[in-house]
Structure 1
C-alpha cells in the first residue's frame, strides 16, 4: 500500500457508531488481502498472507477443512463483522503471523458474549465476559498466550472508542505456577515432559520401512516420510525449515580435531541467519541416503519448476506427452495423456473446472497449456517460491532449487502424479501421514505397512535430540546454538532431566556416591527392545544367559511347587500366568530359530520350555473353565520340589545319607535306570 489509513474515533459519538465506522473503514477503504485469489469480505473463510482462517465459533473450531460449516457452526454475523474489521485493520498496521491465535481469542470473546445476550455485541463487552472467556481457555495448552492476545485486542478496541470499559487493568490467572513454563514448559512436571518424547515403536517402524529401501522400491510418500524423519533425527530442526533445503544442503568439512564432519547448511527463517548444523557421526550415512532419495523423487519437479520460471508459452514436453505439433488437435485420449491423468473421468473433471464443460474435443497443446497455467497460478500463488516472501531483501528458496519440489498428487497412493503441475510443500504432507483419526486411517503410514496404528509428531524428534544431547554432556549454550534458538531459557523447555540421574551426578561431584546402587526392575516395554533370545523374562526383570549355558533351573519355580494353592477367579493371577506363558513361547520360538540356524545348544531351551508351556496351558484352561465355580481352590502336582522334600533332604544330610537327584541320575545313566527305579517303587500286586 502507498499509504495507511488510520482510524480516528470520535469520542463524542457512541461506541456503536464508532464500531460501525470502523467496519466501514476496514471493509471499504482497506485493501489488505484483496489481491489474493479467493478472498472475499463476506466469505466464511478468508485467504490471508500466511494462513487461511475460518470464522467458526468456539464450539466448532475443529470442523473438517473440506467441509463447509453450517450456520450454527459459524460466529454470529454481527460479531463476525467486528472480528473481520479488527483483523484487517490490525494486519494493515502491523502484519504478523499470529493470526490463528488472534482467531482463537476472538472465538473465546464471542463465546463469552453469547452466554448472556442473543446478539453478541462487542461494544457491551464487560469484565464478566472477560472472566468467562478466560475460563473457557483453561483446557488449552496455549491459554496464557491466547489470553495475552485477547487482552491486547480489547485494549486496542478500547483505544478506538468501541468498548465502554477500560481493560487496561484486567488480568488473567495463567501466570506463575499456572503459567506455561510451570505447566508445559521448562518447569513442567516429569509426566508432561515425558509425553513430548516420540513413541519408540513409531520410530522403529519408520526405521524398518527406511531400511527396506535398500532392497525394494518404496513409493514417493514413504520416501518422503522416512527420509524427513531421518533428517529430523540428524539435527534438531523444525518441519517448516525443510522448505529452505537445497539439493546440496548436506556438506562435509573437517572439524577442529581434523576429523570429517557432516553438517546441514540452510537458512533458518526463525533466527534470520544461515546455519551449519553438525550431524552426529552415527547418523551421517543415514542423512546422506535420505538426501539422495529425496533428491531422486523430486528431480522431475525441479525440472518442471525451472521451465515454469521462464514464463513459457508452449506446453511442457514431459516424458509421456503426445509427440505432435502444439497447434494440432488432440484426441480425448491424447488430452488425458498430455495432462497426465489416469482416466478420462478425472481429466474431464479438470477440463470442466476451467471450461464449464466435460467435452475433451477441440483441444490443442497450446489450448491445454492455458488451462495448465490458470491452474498453476491458483495452486502456486507465491511461485517461483513455495511460501510467501517475508521481505524483499531475503526471498525464500525457489522451487527449482528446493530439495522438496513435488508435483501435484505425487504423494497420493491411489492417484496419478501430474506431470505439468507443481504442489508447494508444507508440513501437513508429513504430519498428516503420521496422525491418528478416522479420516486419516487410509493414509496412516503405520497402518499401511501393517504396523499397529500409531502417531508421530515432527517436533517430538526435536525434543528427543535435545534430551539425548544433554544426557551426553552437551552444554546448554551449545545445545541452544545447535537447535537455532535465541536464548537458553527456550532450550530448558525441551529438556527432561531424570531427578535420579541428576542426584547421581550431584553425588558424584560431591564425592558421596554409594558403592552399590539398586537398579530399577526392567519394564515389559524395555524388555521388548532386547528382542527374543537366550534369556528369561519375568515381572522382576531379565535373566540374561547364553544358548550354551541352558535355561535357568528355577524359572517359574512357583508354578512347579506342590505347595502352591491358587484360587479360581483370581484375575490378577491369570493375567500374570498368561504373560509368563507368552514370554516363554517367544523364547521357545527363538530357540527353534537358533536350532534351524545350527545352534545345537538351543535344544536345551526347547526341552525345558516345551513341558513348561504345556503345564501353563493346562493351568490356564482350569482358570478359564466356566464349569469350575469361582473361589474353588486349585492345587497342581509339583514337578520340581516341595517343602517335605526340603525337610527330608536336611534330615538325610544330618544323618550322613546322600540323596541322589533324579535329574542327575538320568543325565549320568540314562532314562533306562530311572525306569527300573520306578518299577521297584511300584507296589507288588501279586
Structure 2
C-alpha cells in the first residue's frame, strides 16, 4: 500500500517557521534514498538515483567543477540555501519521481545566485519576482534555458503552496514564451541562420572519411570507434544514447516490397519505448557493414570478459597474456603487472595502492589479485551485468550482448588496455573526441581531439548534428515528412520540422511549385569543354551547346546533329571555325559509336540503335570535312549539302500531302529503322 506523502504548512505561522518545519520534515520524515549507498543529508553530493553519478551542491560559477575536485565552501551554494535545495529535491522526488535532478539543481543554483547578489544570507522567504527574472538572465546563454525557467516555476509553485514564499510572487511568469520561446529562437520556427548553425560541418565528414579509408593497421581502437559510429549515424537518424541498445547483429538484411535486398538497423529505442527497424540507404549499405564489423572486432574481447564475469567466477580470468602459473603460486612483481594488464610494474603501483594502501607488489597470487579485480569491477560497473541502470519497464542489454562493450582504458592514448576490467560505455567516449574542446592548462590543449590527432582542422562535430543532416538530406530528396518522422523514431510529426532547416528561398520555391509549376525556372551555368570531357563517351549526345543525357535503352535523339542533314545548310570553304566545329562533331560521334560498340559487347543490345544512328552521321561528317579541306576547291566557295530533311520544297510537299490526306514516309525515320541501304535503293529507283 502506497504511503501518502504530504507536508501541510500552518497558515498561522510565519514563512520562516514553515520553511524550518518543511526542511525538518524532508530531512527526518522522508525516507527516499535512505537505502542508497553513499547517501547522507549532510553530504555536499547526493547520488542521482537515475544515473551512475552524483549531483553536487556547487554554486552556479562552479557548476562544471570536475568531479575529481573536492569543492571548497566558497564553491558550494550558501549553507542557508543548501538545506532549502535539499528539502525541495527530496520532497519533489518523493511525491513525483523523475529524471531531471541535474536541471533542477541548475535552477536552484541560479536562484541562489540571484539572492546572494542582493543579500549576504540568501533568504528564500524574502524572494521577489525580480529574483526569478535575474535567475533567468543568469541562464540566458544555456541551451536548456527554457526548461530551466519552467523548473523555476515549479520550484516557485511548491514553495508557494507550502506558504514559504510571498503570495504575490506566485504570479511570476518566465520570459521564454511567445517570441522568446525555444520554438521561435532555436526550434522549428527559428531564423534560418540559427538552423544553419546546427548543420554539421561537412569538412569534418571528409576528415573522418579519410581516416575511415586508411588501412586498419594505421588505426587504433579510438579511431575505429569515432569513424565507425559516424558512419552508422550517417546510415540512419539515431540518437547517441541509443548506441547502448545496439546488439552485435543489429545491422540486418531483408527483402523489400519489390524483392530487392534492403539493409536495416534493428534495436530498441528507449525514448519511444519501442523496437525499430531503420532502413539504411543503398549508398551507405557497404559502409555500414564495414563499420559494424570493425566495432564487433574491437569489442569481442570485452564481451568474452563480460560473459566470464556473469558466472561470478572464483578464479582469475585467463587472458592471452596472463602468466602461465597456478592460481596459488606467488607472483613476481613483473607477473603482477602482466596479470593486471599493465605495461610494466611501475604503472600498476597506484592501482595496487588504491586497494591495499601500499605500493608493494610482492606476495600476490592470481587468487589474491582476483579479489582486487572483483572489488574494482563492482566499483566501476555498479549495474553489472548491464551497462546502465535497469528499470522496471524493460531491462537494458547485458554487457556480454552489447556491441559497445569495451574494456577499461581501451580507448586511451597512452595507457594499455586492461584485460580483466570492463568499462561501461559512455557516449562521451565519442562526443569528447569530436567537440574540439580546448584545455588551456595543458601542454596538449586538445588531448582527445580526433581531428588534430590526424592533422586536420578541429571542426567541432555534434552527434545530434548528424541526425539533423540525415533528416535534411531525406527531405531534400523527396522523402515525406511522415516517413522521416517514423525513420527518426519521433513521437510526433510536429517535432520533425526542427531538423529540416529549410531556407526562406527553398520555402519560396516550394510555394511557387504548388501555385504554378511553370514559374519555377532555374538558370544553369553553361557546360565548358573541360566539364563535357569529364563525362567521357556513353549514352548521351555532346555538342557545342552542352550535353543531352539519355540511356542506351531510350535510344538516340532523332534530331541530334541534323544540321548536316539539312538542305538549307550552306558552308563556306576556308571557314576555320566551321571546320573545327564539324571535326568536333565527328570526334564526338565517333566516341559515341565506340562506346555503343563496347556496350553491345557487354550485353546491352539496345545500344545497337546508337550504332545505327551514329554510323551514317560519322560518314556524312567525314565527307563534309573532306570537302572543307579539299585543296582543289577555292576558299570562299559556298558549299551546300544535299540534305535528307528540312528543305523548303519538302515542307511545301508535306503541306500539300496533308491537305490531300496523303501520308509521306519520313526519310530519316526509314534510315534509322531500316538502314541506309534502303534509302540508297529508293534513290536508285528515283534515278531510273
TM-score > 0.5 by shorter chain: yes
SS in structure 2 of the partner of residue 443 of structure 1: coil
Q: Is contact 1:57–1:74 with CA below 8 Å preserved after alignment? A: yes
Matches within 5 A, 1:391-540: 391=392, 393-439=393-439, 441-511=446-516, 513-514=518-519, 517-518=522-523
Q: Quote the Cα distance in structure 1 between the aligned partners of 2:410 and 2:308.
A: 18
SS in structure 2 of the partner of residue 433 of structure 1: coil
SS in structure 2 of the partner of residue 441 of structure 1: coil
Q: Quote the Cα distance in structure 2 between the aligned partners of 1:452 and 1:398.
A: 38
Q: Runs of 5+ in structure 1 lacking a partner? A: 522-533, 537-542, 550-686
SS in structure 1 of the partner of residue 7 of structure 2: coil
Matches within 5 A, 1:12-411: 12-51=12-51, 52-213=54-215, 216-391=217-392, 393-411=393-411
Sort the Cα spacing of 1:375 and 1:32 in 2 relative to 1 into closer, same or farther, 3 A: farther
Q: Quote the Cα distance in structure 1 between the aligned partners of 2:21 and 2:368.
A: 48
SS in structure 1 of the partner of residue 252 of structure 2: strand
Q: Is contact 2:509–2:520 with CA below 8 Å preserved after alignment? A: no
Q: Runs of 5+ in structure 2 lacking a partner? A: 440-444, 537-688
Sort the Cα spacing of 1:354 and 1:500 in 2 relative to 1 into closer, same or farther, 3 A: same
After superposition, the C-alpha distances for 1:319-352 in whole angstroms (9 at most, x for unaligned) are: 1111222222222111111111122233111111
Q: Quote the Cα distance in structure 2 between the aligned partners of 1:342 and 1:252.
A: 42
Q: Quote the Cα distance in structure 2 between the aligned partners of 1:248 and 1:322.
A: 34
Q: Quote the Cα distance in structure 1 between the aligned partners of 2:518 and 2:505.
A: 12
Partner of 1:6: 6
Q: How many residues align?
A: 529
Sort the Cα spacing of 1:519 and 1:329 in 2 relative to 1 into closer, same or farther, 3 A: same
Q: Is contact 1:33–1:48 with CA below 8 Å preserved after alignment? A: no
Sort the Cα spacing of 1:11 and 1:316 in 2 relative to 1 into closer, same or farther, 3 A: farther
SS in structure 2 of the partner of residue 486 of structure 1: coil
Q: Is contact 1:349–1:358 with CA below 8 Å preserved after alignment? A: yes
SS in structure 1 of the partner of residue 322 of structure 2: coil
Q: Is contact 1:36–1:48 with CA below 8 Å preserved after alignment? A: no
Q: Quote the Cα distance in structure 1 between the aligned partners of 2:63 and 2:108.
A: 12
Sort the Cα spacing of 1:213 and 1:13 in 2 relative to 1 into closer, same or farther, 3 A: farther
Sort the Cα spacing of 1:2 and 1:406 in 2 relative to 1 into closer, same or farther, 3 A: farther
Q: Quote the Cα distance in structure 2 between the aligned partners of 1:73 and 1:513.
A: 66
Deviation at 1:232, TM superposition (A): 0.5
Deviation at 1:405, TM superposition (A): 0.4
Give the TM-score of the pair, scaled to structure 1. Answer: 0.73
Q: Quote the Cα distance in structure 2 between the aligned partners of 1:19 and 1:362.
A: 58
Deviation at 1:410, TM superposition (A): 0.5
The RMSD of aligned alpha carbons is 2.5
Sort the Cα spacing of 1:207 and 1:315 in 2 relative to 1 into closer, same or farther, 3 A: same
Q: Quote the Cα distance in structure 2 between the aligned partners of 1:443 and 1:434.
A: 8
SS in structure 2 of the partner of residue 267 of structure 1: strand
Deviation at 1:133, TM superposition (A): 1.6
Deviation at 1:548, TM superposition (A): 13
Sort the Cα spacing of 1:283 and 1:207 in 2 relative to 1 into closer, same or farther, 3 A: same
Give the TM-score of the pair, scaled to structure 2. Answer: 0.73
SS in structure 2 of the partner of residue 173 of structure 1: coil
Q: Quote the Cα distance in structure 2 between the aligned partners of 1:36 and 1:410.
A: 30
Deviation at 1:19, TM superposition (A): 2.4
Q: Is contact 1:470–1:495 with CA below 8 Å preserved after alignment? A: yes
Q: Quote the Cα distance in structure 1 between the aligned partners of 2:145 and 2:250.
A: 38
After superposition, the C-alpha distances for 1:220-244 in whole angstroms (9 at most, x for unaligned) are: 1011111111110011000000000
Deviation at 1:518, TM superposition (A): 4.5
Sort the Cα spacing of 1:462 and 1:357 in 2 relative to 1 into closer, same or farther, 3 A: same
Deviation at 1:450, TM superposition (A): 0.7
After superposition, the C-alpha distances for 1:181-215 in whole angstroms (9 at most, x for unaligned) are: 0000000000000011111111110111111145x
Deviation at 1:167, TM superposition (A): 4.2
Q: Is contact 1:271–1:485 with CA below 8 Å preserved after alignment? A: yes
